[in-house]
Structure 1
Amino acid sequence: MGQADLSVRVECYAGYQGEETPRRFFLGRRSVEVLEVVDRWLAPDYRYFKIRSGDGSIYILRHDVASGRWELTLFDSGKREETRLSST
C-alpha cells in the first residue's frame, strides 16, 4: 500500500534574520490562514511548526530544509475534547 502524499504549499513571512514563518498554506485548493504559531522546534533535517488556524484547528507542518518541501504531519480539528492536543 502506498503512502499518501501529504505535501502542502506554504506561504511564509521571512523575518529580519531570514527565518521563514508560515502565514498561509494550501491543502489542495483550500487555503488555510495561520492565526498563530503555537510552537516551533528543530530536528536534524527538519523544522516543525505547530499552527492554529482561524477556525481553531491545530496543524503541524514539517519543513525539509534541504529540499524545501513542506508536509502536513498532524491535524486536530479540536471538535472532540477527548482527542484535543494537550498543549493547545
Structure 2
Amino acid sequence: MKVRVVCYEGYCAGETPRSFTMGERPLEVTSVLDRWRGEDHEYVKLDASDGNRYVLRYDRNADEWEIVLMQAPGRPPTRKDARKGS
C-alpha cells in the first residue's frame, strides 16, 4: 500500500519519517525502532499514533514510500503486497 510520508530532513532528503497518511488517515510516528538499507530501498520500522507497528519501504529510484508490514498489538504481523494492490 503506497503512503504519503513527511520526513525530518537533516543532511539528506527523506531521512526520518515523522508522519504518514494511509488513505485519508494521518498518523504520527511515535518512535523509530530500526532502519536498514536494501539494494534499491530504505526500510524503517516504527510505531505510530494508532498503536500499530509498521515497516515502511522507500524506493529511492521511484521516490515513493509504501507499507510492507503492519502489526497490531498482540497480533501477528500482516504483510502488504504492493504488487497485488493490497
Interval of TM-score (by shorter of Structure 1 and Structure 2): 0.7 to 0.9
Kindly tell me the number of residue pairs found equivalent between the two proteins. 76
Q: Which has the higher contact order (CA 8 A, sep 6+)?
A: 2
More strand by share: 2
- In the TM superposition, residue 18 of structure 1 has moved relative to its aligned partner by 1.5
Using the size of structure 1 for normalisation, the TM-score is 0.79
Q: Write the deviation string for residues 2-24 of structure 1: whole angstroms up to 9, x where unpaired.
A: xxxx1000001001x22521000
Give 1:36's aligned residue: 31
CA displacement, residues 47-79 of structure 1 (integer Å, 9 cap, x when unaligned): 000010124310000000111010100000114
1:18 to 12, 24, 29: 12
State the distance in 2 between where 1:40 and 1:56 align: 19
Give the secondary structure class of the aligned counterpart of 1:8: strand
**Highest Rg: 1 or 2?**
1
The one-character-per-residue Cα deviations of 1:20-61 (angstroms, maximum 9, x if unpaired) are: 210000011000100011000000000000010124310000
TM-score, scaled relative to structure 2: 0.81
Does residue 7 of structure 1 match 2:2?
yes
Distance (Å, rounded) in 1 between the aligned partners of 2:52 and 2:34? 14
**Superposition misfits of 4+ residues, deviation over 3 angstroms:** none
Q: Which residue of 2 aligns with 1:3?
A: none
CA contact (8 A) 2:27 2:50 kept: no
Unaligned regions of 5+ residues in structure 2, if any?
Answer: 78-86
